[in-house]
Amino acid sequence: MLFRERIIFLGTAIDDQVANAVVAQLLVLSREDPEADIQMYINSPGGQIYSGLAIYDTMKMIPNKISTVAVGVTASFGTVLLAAGSKGKRYALPHATIHMHQPLGGAEGQASDIEIQAKEILRLKASLMGILSDATGQPIDVLEHDTDRNKYLDAQQAVEYGLVDQVLIPPKQ
């Protein structure tokens, strides 16, 4: 039912399987109508960077405007996807929590393998800082400082930071 209304719900950690499903939904919806908006509701603790980048790149590649909505918590790459929505169409529900941190990874093996993995995580960090800087307008040095450790924002703070454009207020009942 949600899919017929052009709504994608990302409500879990992001891995290859989840990313493939979300990418497929984006492509199908774009193919059906390349001019109609797509809504993406996000309640995700984040996940694998490469999987998240597959979703991010697809969001940016298709011609549709994509509204993103933080529901519950967006953390790590969930926050990157939230901020990747079309400008003016990035929202947070009033009690949503938005979380950012630097990329995480582990390395084991021979010294040369660890060095390769360290270079890769630094490359990914630079890429993510660029993505978030473009999305938020924050300078990269500010983002690097703010993501050095866990940073939690409420919905209004996410607006002020530039991660979302507006807090959605429910209508009075």
What structural domains and CATH numbers belong to the chain? 3-167 (3.90.226.10)
DSSP letter at 169 equals P
The residue annotated as part of the active site, out of 86, 101, 127, 133, is 101
Distance separating alpha carbons of residues 76 and 57, to the nearest angstrom:
16
CB contact at 8 A, 41 and 10: yes
Give SS3 for 39: strand
The residue annotated as part of the active site, out of 30, 51, 76, 99, is 76
Q: If 0-12 CB within 10 Å is exposed, 13-18 middle and 19+ buried, where does residue 75 land?
A: buried
Instruction: Note the pLDDT tens digit of each residue in 49-101.
Output: 999 999 999 999 999 999 999 999 999 999 999 999 999 999 999 999 999 99
Instruction: Note the pLDDT tens digit of each residue in 109-146.
Output: 889 888 888 899 999 999 999 999 999 999 999 999 99
Whether 101 is catalytic: yes
Q: If 0-12 CB within 10 Å is exposed, 13-18 middle and 19+ buried, where does residue 154 land?
A: middle
